[in-house]
Structure 1
Amino acid sequence: MYMTQTHTDDYERSDGRAIRLTYAEPDGSVRGGLVVLHEGDGVTDGVRLLVASLADEGWLAVTPHFSGENLTRDDVLGATDITLAWLVDHGVQADLLGVVGFDLGGTAALVVASNRRLGAAVSVGGQAAGELPVLVDIAGKLTSPWLGIYGDAGDESGGEEVEQLREAAAHSGAVTNVVRYPGANHRFDADPEAAVEAWQRTLNWFDAHLR
């Protein structure tokens, strides 16, 4: 049972572009709009709970349905662009738009933050997947304020890849922050304390940049 109800609709633009969206609306005033990029398993109950939880914090939150298999840069940007248009159609101002992704969606969020100018972006976990580019190759091209949150439990490099990502992001010219949790896995479900802190950091980042 969700705190806020989620809805799923098929949305079509006048140019024929269409996508299925799952969204949740805040009870009160809308602080801004967040595109939630889901993990490889699709729009699961966990994703719906995330969308509902963001709505409880005052955000109009919406996730586009896309296939996690062989996902390309153009797939991610195409789905995100239509979803951003949906948010604008629902009255969200352009400077109050953000994107957040978990796991595969975390990688997708970095792709978006490196190709679109949004108010804020957050990636929680994620690594190179499908046809998506290598993270460190795109972090230096960030065009949106970006927070990256990563766990390195089971990471044979000992967090080296995350540190490379931090350095690349720092050279982008965008406002960035990379946080590494040595005890957490890439999905943060093995370390509840890290998961709670990652959630709070995510909310704080949007609070700070979408205003």
Structure 2
Amino acid sequence: MTTTRVETLSLTDGRELRVTIAEPDSAVRGGLVVLHEARGVTEGVRSLVSSLADEGWLAIAPHLYDEDRVHGDDIRDQVSKLSGDRLLEDTDVAFVWLGQQGVSADRMGVVGFDIGGTVAMVVAASRTIGAAVTVQAPGILEPLSDGLPALVDVASDLTCPWLGIYRDDDSEEVKKLRDAVISSETASDLVRFDVSSDEAWARALNWFDAHMR
């Protein structure tokens, strides 16, 4: 499995952004920004970044907040304070870094899990990139934080091909999100799987393969 590394990137507002990166050993087929779950860049997230590199993707996961200081109830408090503008700034930094490595915008994608999936869909509705995948994202009908929109409110604004993967249940929220994305003018799909299954992983990879050539 490809080794990951942590770098610190400087932002124009004086902040520094930690990122976890994995580079493929073979030719780079494109770049993916990986947006982490509520607990931050966990071992599972690092494993995902590494696995994407094994598939030929240059993968970068921005640390959206200092997860080393967030535990238990603090996680919910941290999530409730998320700023939409700042999250977009942080993902933009990751896209700029990919561009500096020679990846063109149409070969850049974003994939997010849990709160990262929420952010990934917001990115897909506000940035011109190759494709996006959202996995089990909350905030469908009610905003995840005051600084983020509800996902049904941005569904019609999708500017790149978007795939949503949710658990195989009959959630009314998920049904409403599926109906909302139909109104977007770009390719979109919402499927239901065991979100940790090999089939869900294969569907996500196939989505990027199909739309980022």
TM-score, normalised with respect to structure 1: 0.87
Q: In the TM superposition, what are the counterparts of 1:60-71 in structure 2 within 5 Å?
A: 60-67=58-65, 69=79, 70-71=81-82
Gaps of 5+ in 2: 66-77
Aligned partner of 1:176 in structure 2 is 188
Question: Shift of residue 119 of structure 1?
Answer: 0.4
Q: Which range moves more in the overlay, 15-24 or 52-61?
A: 15-24
Question: Shift of residue 17 of structure 1?
Answer: 5.7
Which portions of structure 1, spanning 4 or more consecutive aligned residues, are displaced by more than 6 angstroms? none
Aligned partner of 1:114 in structure 2 is 125
RMSD: 1.5
Q: Which range moves more in the overlay, 7-16 or 106-115?
A: 7-16
Contact 2:105 2:128 in 1 (8 A): no
Question: Shift of residue 99 of structure 1?
Answer: 0.3
Question: Shift of residue 172 of structure 1?
Answer: 1.1
Output the amino acid matched with 1:209: H
Output the amino acid matched with 1:36: V
Question: Shift of residue 72 of structure 1?
Answer: 2.2
Q: Distance in 2 between matches of 1:176 and 1:199?
A: 17
Q: Which residue of 28, 34, 37 corresponds with 1:36?
A: 34
Output the amino acid matched with 2:38: G
Q: Distance in 2 between matches of 1:90 and 1:79?
A: 17
Q: Which residue of 201, 206, 209 corresponds with 2:208?
A: 206
Q: In the TM superposition, what are the counterparts of 1:51-66 in structure 2 within 5 Å?
A: 51-66=49-64
Contact 2:11 2:17 in 1 (8 A): no
Aligned partner of 1:162 in structure 2 is 174
Aligned partner of 1:192 in structure 2 is none
% identical aligned pairs: 55
Q: Which range moves more in the overlay, 70-79 or 14-23?
A: 14-23
Q: Which residue of 136, 145, 153 corresponds with 1:130?
A: 145
After superposition, the C-alpha distances for 1:145-184 in whole angstroms (9 at most, x for unaligned) are 100001155xxxx322112111111101011011023xx4
After superposition, the C-alpha distances for 1:22-69 in whole angstroms (9 at most, x for unaligned) are 010000100000000000111110000000000000000000011253
Q: Distance in 2 between matches of 1:164 and 1:151?
A: 15
Q: Does 1:93 align with 2:109?
A: no
Q: What is the count of residue pairs matched by the alignment?
A: 195
Q: Which range moves more in the overlay, 14-23 or 49-58?
A: 14-23
Gaps of 5+ in 1: 190-194
TM-score, normalised with respect to structure 2: 0.87
Output the amino acid matched with 1:166: R
